Amino acid sequence: MPQEVKVGSELQGRYVISRHIGDGGFGIVWQATDKKLGRDVAIKRMKSLGGGELETLLAEAQKIKTLRGHKNIVEMYETFEEEGEGFLVMEYVDGKSLQDIFQGHVRARTWLDPEESLDYLKQLLDGLQFAHSHAIFHRDIKPSNILVSKVGVVKIVDFGLAKTMVAAASEHSGITGFGARTGTLLFMSPEAAKGKTPDHRTDIFSAGLVGYILLTGRHPFLHQSGAFAVHDLILEGGFECEPISHLQHKNLSETASRLITSMLTKDREQRCQSIQRVHQELTRDPGRPCPQCGSSNRGTAQFCDQCGSSLTIAAISPPRPGQFISAQAYTDEGFALTRDDDWEQAIEKYRAAIKVDKTYARAYANLGFALNKLGRNEDAIQACTEGLAVAAAAQEQHRLYDARGFAKSRSKDYEGAIGDFSAAIKLSPNNPKPLQHRAESYALMGEYKLAYQDAGNALRLDSDFTPAYRLIQRLESQGLA
């Protein structure tokens, strides 16, 4: 007989149920206290399945544990079976689902702030990029599977479980086809709705749907006439969504608009093939990056505000056969490649520079930044650590600490990140960026007053520094300041 789970129940002699969070498509979710580690967790009690299907589900959940260490993915801590039922122990997120946020705005006849909507989309793509780099696909991206913490951190939940649960339920009931049982037709790709095997491009389509709604406040396949249901128009080959215009979202570049539209191409062979490309465009710094220290500057600036170097890159002549290429020349070539978003080739140039001169700290700093750009956090941490061992100039040390701190924060090593950001702040006290980065890490640790203080200090250095202003607003609105 299935075990009764209610407030006060204890599972595995460790998890004490504290409250019921909600009922999902594949299980009931409870908040619980982990007595062993003294932390809150979320426990999903999976709906009853046959023995073989349960084993398959728990095995799939074990695979998801490899995604630990990214702040935009809900971490899977443990799986266990008790009295013939499956339980998943996950990171607890104190916040709301994107679905709840959408519904709140609809009721109030408002919509998200443009900066906030763009920030949520960037974080969603960042998490998906990390998962796809580990060959793990979600297959059921929708607003109810996207959580937003009190401090505005997006967390994707239920990676890969939808496909496993649907396959099990279909086999048990005799119904086939991925789309037949999910119940999420509004966010389903055409290939999934037709029962074809989903892959990473299925995530890209569904993420495009969520992104389009975030940026415009409407579903891309909802026609104002109401003559067709949304899922019918997703399948209708002759109906394509309208591109997002600059007037609808002024912070979106034309290239980004085209890429988001490409995510929604119905033929997956013609669809945008990589989350990484969209994420890179959305996170492109609109200012002029300094070729020497990497700091961002106003678009009209001629010299770097941080180190005073010229922001103009001289044309780089290809080397003659047999000609020696210096570490600086390799690094300059790499930096020029980043302006064309060719980050992989840039990384190769930076590594070549280091091979020529293992003490050339600028190459390490640029390498760390480029690896962060591609979400390769562990590699970025290693590159920056190696760079700090040889860097002598304060400018390069500052960049290396900041880049390593960013990678650590993204990997959920918040204490380590705060240490690195603190070192960067000491080296460059007039730069608001490491202050804001440290504020975000403090907020993620629950040190809200310290986060508020750092964000305020960042704003005092730059009154137009939007990320700091947004964090202060969120902390104040949640009563956390």
pLDDT, tens only, 2-48: 567 889 899 999 999 999 998 866 678 999 999 999 999 999 988 76
* pLDDT score recorded for residue 377: 93
Q: How confident is the model at residue 55 (pLDDT cuts 50, 70, 90)?
A: confident
- Same structural domain for residues 164 and 232? yes
Q: How confident is the model at residue 176 (pLDDT cuts 50, 70, 90)?
A: very low
Distance, CA of 142 to CA of 263 (rounded, Å) = 15
Residue 69 lies in a domain: yes
Chosen domain end from 59, 91, 123: 91
CATH code at position 56: 3.30.200.20
- Residue 158: closest CA among 141, 172, 134: 141
- Same structural domain for residues 465 and 363? yes
Higher pLDDT, 60 or 129: 129
How crowded is residue 318: how many other Cβ atoms within 10 Å of its Cβ? 7
The per-residue pLDDT for range 148-175, each reduced to its tens digit, is 999 999 999 988 665 544 444 444 443 3
* pLDDT score recorded for residue 162: 54
- Same structural domain for residues 147 and 112? yes
Catalytic center residues: 140
Edge-to-edge strand list for the sheet holding 15-23: 10-11, 15-23, 27-34, 39-46, 85-91, 76-82
Residue 180 has pLDDT above 90, yes or no: no
- Same structural domain for residues 260 and 121? yes
- Same structural domain for residues 126 and 250? yes
Q: What phi and psi, each to the nearest 5 degrees, are found at residue 151?
A: -100, 15
Residue at token pair 């960049």: 399
Chosen domain end from 91, 121, 144: 91
Find the mean pLDDT for residues 406-433: 95
CATH code at position 365: 1.25.40.10
Q: Where are the beta strands (DSSP E) in 241-337?
A: 288-289, 296-297
Burial call 62-79: b when 16+ CB within 10 Å, e when fewer: eebeebeebbbbbbbbbb
The per-residue pLDDT for range 443-474, each reduced to its tens digit, is 999 999 999 999 999 999 999 888 999 999 99
As for how many domains the chain has, the answer is 3
Q: How confident is the model at residue 301 (pLDDT cuts 50, 70, 90)?
A: low
* pLDDT score recorded for residue 234: 86
Residue 426 has pLDDT above 90, yes or no: yes
| Most confidently modeled range among 91-95, 291-295, 310-314 | 91-95
Residue 50 lies in a domain: yes
Residue 377 lies in a domain: yes
Q: How confident is the model at residue 65 (pLDDT cuts 50, 70, 90)?
A: confident
Chosen domain end from 34, 65, 91: 91
Residue 316 lies in a domain: no
* pLDDT score recorded for residue 22: 87
Residue 122 lies in a domain: yes
- Same structural domain for residues 357 and 415? yes
- Same structural domain for residues 212 and 240? yes
Distance, CA of 176 to CA of 166 (rounded, Å) = 9
Distance, CA of 204 to CA of 264 (rounded, Å) = 8
Q: What is the amino acid identity at position 145?
A: N
Provide the residue range defining the domain that includes 465. Answer: 288-307+322-477
In percent, the amount of the chain with pLDDT more than 70 equals 85
* Size of the chain in residues: 481
Give the mean pLDDT of the chain: 86
In percent, the amount of the chain with pLDDT more than 90 equals 57
Handedness of CA 431, 434, 437, 439 (dihedral sign): negative
Residue 247 has pLDDT above 70, yes or no: no
- Residue 59: closest CA among 88, 84, 36, 96: 88
* pLDDT score recorded for residue 192: 87
* pLDDT score recorded for residue 226: 76
* pLDDT score recorded for residue 17: 95
Residue 4 lies in a domain: no
Find the mean pLDDT for residues 372-397: 95
Residue 261 has pLDDT above 70, yes or no: yes
- Same structural domain for residues 40 and 79? yes
Instruction: State both tokens at 338.
Output: 């980043």
Kindly give, in sequence order, each residue whose CB lies less than 8 Å from that of residue 171, ignoring residues fewer than 6 positions away: 53
Of the listed ranges 322-336, 346-360, 367-381, 416-430, the one predicted with least confidence: 322-336
- Same structural domain for residues 200 and 261? yes
- Same structural domain for residues 44 and 156? no
Distance, CA of 400 to CA of 381 (rounded, Å) = 9
- Same structural domain for residues 435 and 464? yes
* pLDDT score recorded for residue 170: 44
- Same structural domain for residues 164 and 257? yes
* pLDDT score recorded for residue 246: 67
Say if strands 85-91 and 76-82 run parallel, antiparallel, or are unpaired: antiparallel
CATH code at position 262: 1.10.510.10
Residue 257 lies in a domain: yes
Residue 5 lies in a domain: no
Q: How confident is the model at residue 412 (pLDDT cuts 50, 70, 90)?
A: very high
Kindly give, in sequence order, each residue whose CB lies less than 8 Å from that of residue 284, ignoring residues fewer than 6 positions away: 253, 341
Residue 314 has pLDDT above 60, yes or no: no
Q: How confident is the model at residue 99 (pLDDT cuts 50, 70, 90)?
A: very high
Distance, CA of 172 to CA of 182 (rounded, Å) = 15
Find the mean pLDDT for residues 44-58: 73
Higher pLDDT, 16 or 241: 16
